[in-house]
Amino acid sequence: MTTLHKPTPWHLWVVGILGTLWNGFGATDYTMTQIGNRGWFSAMGFDGATTDAMLAYVDSFPIWAHAAWALGVWGGLAGSLLLLFHRRLAVPAFVVSLVGAIVSLIYSATVEVPAELVDVSNASIMYLVVAIALFLLWYAWTMGKRGVLR
């Protein structure tokens, strides 16, 4: 039995490429932070003392917060790539990403940011991260329902 798939709409390419860029940046930030790449923090405008404080702050996260962050960024990157390849597996990948983003949002909203990081900390970005993750999940689900993903 042959299953017919709908042609790829132009907006899938736009959403897929922008999603890959967005989540690719998140995955890069996650990786550079986890390995303590000082050059990354310098490129982001951090001075040496702020970088030290940020690395100490991130090191203080419980393992489940690191896991949620990893699931959020890597699930999002996988989902975006799967979307570009027209795969239905984009939907569960985006579910993983959304769950990771929500857990990260809850954690960031409940921990106190060290005084030396108050000026550079932007916890409100997590609301944008969750909103984009939710949009990408909705979009992939919609494309799956329309027969664009296989």
**Can you give the residue range of the structural domain that contains 115?**
20-32+62-145
37 in a domain, yes or no? no
Longest dimension (CA), the chain: 63
119 in a domain, yes or no? yes
13 in a domain, yes or no? no
Q: How confident is the model at residue 119 (pLDDT cuts 50, 70, 90)?
A: confident
Q: What's at 134, amino acid-wise? A: L
pLDDT the model gives residue 118: 77
Radius of gyration of the chain (CA): 17
8 in a domain, yes or no? no
5 in a domain, yes or no? no
Give the total number of structural domains in the chain.
Answer: 1
55 in a domain, yes or no? no
97 in a domain, yes or no? yes
95 in a domain, yes or no? yes
Q: Is the pTM of this model over 0.85?
A: yes
Calculate what percentage of the chain has a pLDDT beyond 90.
Answer: 79
